[in-house]
Chain A
Amino acid sequence: MSPFLFWIFALLTLIFGAAVVINRNPVGSALSLVMSFLGLAALFMSLNAYFIGIIQVLVYAGAVMVLFLFIIMLLDLRAEGAHRINWLTSAAGLAVALILLGQILSVIGHLKIAHTTFPTLPATTIDDVRNVGAALFTNYNLPFQIVGVLVLVATIGVVLLSKREPR
């Protein structure tokens, strides 16, 4: 992928990711999150992970965001007004986040392999759906079934949680 496209999609992801945090309206945050995930899916595809990119669009930009928007509209959440911002705690939270960012960037700066470019792929065809599926059903068969049970338990838990209990 050309560096130009990489930086376009990276900026798209980061700017809309920041918009999620900054936006006061929950609907605006959710839509910014969709854009951020689409940029991220493009970055996945630039890394030749086409299956993960498509899953990202289907699951996150599709299912998860519909769930978020559905809940926002169900609860009828309005934009919160500019009420009582506690500047001390906000500054402390921002400082912790900035310290974390500095740590991450310094670790990446000291990482030797971070300064090398990606090796070229000698393979002519990349059918990564088949390869991910093969790994999933051979090496990772047990974790795959455990995840299936987890999703089932989550479904039952959601039904139980959102059931109105009789008064």
Chain B
Amino acid sequence: MITLGDYLIVSGILFAIGFAGVMLRRNLIIILMSLELMLNAANLSLVAFSRFRVGPTGLPDYNAQVFVFFIITVAAAEVAVGLAVLVALYRARKTTDVNDISNLRF
């Protein structure tokens, strides 16, 4: 049978993959995608805990799912703002490589 730990392990590995993407990749778009992977890994463990904690009504704990809903909404807003910053940066510097964007002011 599938235990709670299996879902948590998948979530942990996915988070580590996203973290490795942020650490290793130098392309800003890929870094944003890796951030999304990490947010989704957190969502997976939240939903797993929600299903694990069955309330007195015989239903999953919906507080965690509301939390996931908020995370998805905020993540969508974050992606939009992040990509707008990326476009503004690309207009100014013609690059999305973080190695070339090491100055605080230009």
Interface residues of A (CB under 8 A from B): 1, 3, 6, 10, 13-14, 17-18, 20-21, 26, 29-30, 33, 36-37, 40, 43-44, 47-49, 51-52, 55-56, 59-60, 63-64, 67-68, 71-72, 74-75, 77, 80, 90, 93-94, 96-98, 100-101, 104-105, 108-109, 111, 113-119, 121-123, 126, 128, 131-132, 135-136, 139-140, 143, 147, 150-151, 154-155, 157-158, 161-162, 164
Contact = CB atoms under 8 A, between A and B. Distances in A.
28 contacts: A6-B2, A10-B6, A18-B17, A20-B30, A43-B7, A47-B7, A49-B50, A52-B47, A52-B65, A56-B72, A64-B36, A64-B75, A64-B79, A77-B29, A90-B24, A100-B16, A101-B12, A115-B4, A117-B3, A118-B51, A128-B62, A132-B62, A147-B70, A150-B74, A151-B76, A154-B77, A154-B78, A158-B80
Contacts of B3: 114-118
Interface of B: 1-10, 12-21, 23-25, 27, 29-30, 32-34, 36-37, 40, 43-44, 47-48, 50-52, 54, 57-60, 62-63, 65-66, 68-70, 72-81, 83-88, 90-91, 96-97
